[in-house]
Amino acid sequence: MTEETRKALLVVDVQNDFCPGGALAVKNGDLVIESLNRITRLFDQKGYSLFFSRDWHPHTTKHFKDFGGLWPVHCVRTTWGAQFHPNLQIPSSAYIISKGYGQDDDGYSPFGGAYLRDDDWPLSLNILLSNTNEIYIGGLATDYCVKSSVLDALKLVRDPKHPLEKAYLLTDACRAVNIKPGDGALALNEMENAGVQFITTDEVIRQSR
C-alpha cells in the first residue's frame, strides 16, 4: 500500500426488502450491517469514496414475475421496501447509486445504474471511480447483485485506461439468496476465478491502523 492509494467502498442493496421481513428477504441479510457500518466509518474518516447502491424499480418492470421476470415485486421506489435498512449508516458524503429504474432494466449491477442528480445528467459509477485504485464490495445478495458488481468492477481492473487496480469482496459482509442450494458458494467461486480478492472487514481495519 502507498499513501497515494485511493480506495472506495461499494455497499450493495442493503434495503428493507432484502432483509428479514422484506418482500425478497435474504436469510440473515441484516447481519451484514454491523460489519459494513464499521468499514463505512473507517473509510469516511479516511476521506475515501463511499457508494451505496439501491434497487429503484418502477411499479411495472420486466424484472417482476407479473411482467415476465423472475422476481416478486420488491424495492419499488418510494416504498418502504426500497428504503435502506434503518440501521445502515450512510454518511452525507456518500453517493447513492440507483439501478433497475427502467421498465426493461433488471439492474443487478450498480455499474449499470447511476448517481441521479436533479439538476444535471446522471453520473455513472465508472466515472465516479475515475480516481480510485481499489474498491471493496459487500452487501446483498452474494449470488446476484454483489456478484454482478464484482464482475463489473473486475472489468475496470482489466481496462488499461481505468486506474482501478484491485477489487476486494468483503466476505463477512455479504449473504446469498441461495434459491438453489449452493448458489452462494458457486458465486464465490466464479468471483474468485475472475480475479477478486477475498478479505474481511476486520482485516481491512487492521491494515489501516
Catalytic residues: 13, 99, 145
How far apart CA 178 and CA 104 sit, in angstroms, is 25
Q: How many CB atoms lie within 10 A of CB 9?
A: 26
Q: Give every CB contact of residue 115 below 8 A, 6+ residues apart in sequence.
A: 95, 96, 97, 98, 122, 123, 124, 125, 128
Decide if 88 contacts 44 (C-beta within 8 A): no
Q: Which amino acid is at 163?
A: P
